[in-house]
Amino acid sequence: MELLDAVEQVLKSANQPLHVKTITDKLISDGLWKSSGKTPDKTVGARLYKDIKTKGAKSSFVMVAPQTFSMNGIPMLGEDTAPDMTLVDETQKTRSEGAYFTFIDCAQKVLEEYGGNKPMNYREITDRALQKGWLNTGGKTPAATMYAQLITLIKSQQKHGKQPRFVKHGKGYFSLSQSTDSSLTIQIEQHNQQVRKALHEKLLALTPGEFEEFISQLLVEMGFEMVEVTKLTGDGGIDVRGTLVIGEVVRIKMAVQVKRWKHKNNVQSPTVQQMRGSLGAHEHGLIITTSDFSSGAINEAIESDKTPIALMNGDQLVSLLMEYEIGANRSRPDLFEIDDEVLLVGGGKE
């Protein structure tokens, strides 16, 4: 049996999200798949991640939390719970007569046609979408999924300094942002877009050493411990090392390489290969760039049977800096300003 077919069988049988280690253990114990590798769970995770990245909404799988996967369309939450799961993508699709719709897009269509500039309960939003045929899902609790995705989108956009598309009014009621104050919404988004651009330009003006120190500060805010910038030579391309701590339980040794490049200079696959070859024992890799990654680099980073390499491009970097208010300060309502005291611009070139 093909690996992904076996994973699908396990997830359908569980009818709920499973951590990749649990999926792997189930595959092996049930005799659905065999692996001679030392880290079979990494192979399974890489294959799932690659399938999702390649096929997008057409993938049979969806990642609902770090290293946790579910069948696309199976609800993940109880009726009235909605934890902050920023990895639940607003572009998660559901099939309807050959077309694809998102829960988020369905919510917007319902509010535009039936909201009358007033909030609607998420249950009513879901019922309307189902009645109109815009939403076709095999999940048993589509209203819970609708609520979860709306809450997740609002929290994610707020963290990244974006004006949310929706406003939550309490007791499960939502409206479109433009229904509350469209002029203010536009002004906030335009302002923060300008700050994103200015923050990115300031990053490019830093010297290589300053940029590495700046990234170290971000890693600490993200939950890394024992963060240390490596020596300029003899580091095998590694710029920063640290340990990612999750909930005081999980500790992951990480090696980080930073690339302060212009937009047109995307990171290529040989850089990912070099990074993987420089990793120490039990070490994971992360490449951070101010530009972006080529398709070859992305494919190489998630190649099956190889240690996965995490990638962070310029847009993601700027969003995280704004989320943790590094180099930008948050004011209310969610207006960011450049913090020149933190960004010590040296004007050097790489």
Task: With CA atoms as reference, report the closest residue to 90 among 18, 166, 178.
Answer: 166
pLDDT digits (tens, 9 = 90+) for 214-228: 888 899 888 888 888
pLDDT of residue 69: 83
Cβ(72)–Cβ(59) below 8 Å: yes
Gap between the Cα atoms of 59 and 69, Å rounded: 12
Helix or strand (DSSP H, E) at 309: strand 309-312
Burial of 282 (0-12, 13-18, 19+ CB in 10 A): exposed
Task: With CA atoms as reference, report the closest residue to 175 among 123, 115, 106.
Answer: 115
Task: With CA atoms as reference, report the closest residue to 252 among 67, 68, 89.
Answer: 67
Phi, psi of 265 (to 5 degrees): -95, 80
pLDDT of residue 310: 92
Domain 206-312: give its CATH architecture.
3-Layer(aba) Sandwich (3.40)
pLDDT of residue 302: 86
- Output the CA–CA distances (angstroms, integers) from residue 286 to 272, 279, 329, in the order listed: 9, 10, 26
pLDDT digits (tens, 9 = 90+) for 152-163: 888 877 776 677
- Output the CA–CA distances (angstroms, integers) from residue 14 to 8, 11, 18, 333, in the order listed: 10, 5, 8, 43
Q: What percent of the chain has pLDDT over 90?
A: 16
pLDDT digits (tens, 9 = 90+) for 93-120: 333 333 346 788 889 889 988 888 789 9
Gap between the Cα atoms of 23 and 31, Å rounded: 12
Position 37 pLDDT exceeds 80? no
Task: With CA atoms as reference, report the closest residue to 156 among 63, 101, 84.
Answer: 84
Q: In what order do the strands lie in the sheet with 240-246?
A: 224-229, 240-246, 250-259, 283-289, 309-312
pLDDT of residue 332: 61
Domain 1-72: give its CATH architecture.
Orthogonal Bundle (1.10)
Select the more confidently predicted residue: 116 or 286. Answer: 286
The stretch 314-338 carries a mean pLDDT of 79
Select the more confidently predicted residue: 297 or 345. Answer: 297
Cis peptide before 40 (omega within 30 of 0): no
What are the domain boundaries of the chain?
1-72, 206-312
Helix or strand (DSSP H, E) at 13: helix 3-14
The stretch 236-242 carries a mean pLDDT of 82
Tell me the DSSP string of 256-303. Answer: EEEE---TTSPBPHHHHHHHHHT--TTEEEEEEESS-B-HHHHHHHT-
Cβ(178)–Cβ(321) below 8 Å: no
The confidence band for 79, taking pLDDT boundaries of 50, 70 and 90, is: very low
pLDDT digits (tens, 9 = 90+) for 168-214: 887 889 998 764 455 666 677 778 888 889 999 999 998 888 888 88
Phi, psi of 141 (to 5 degrees): -130, 70
pLDDT of residue 270: 92
Least confident window among 20-24, 36-40, 114-118, 131-135: 36-40
Q: What 3-state class would DSSP assign to 336? A: strand
CB within 8 Å of 271: residues ≥ 6 apart = 257, 259, 287, 297
End-to-end distance of the chain based on CA atoms, in angstroms?
50
The confidence band for 140, taking pLDDT boundaries of 50, 70 and 90, is: confident
Position 126 pLDDT exceeds 50? yes
Mean pLDDT of the chain: 79
Least confident window among 7-21, 27-41, 173-187: 173-187
pLDDT of residue 248: 76
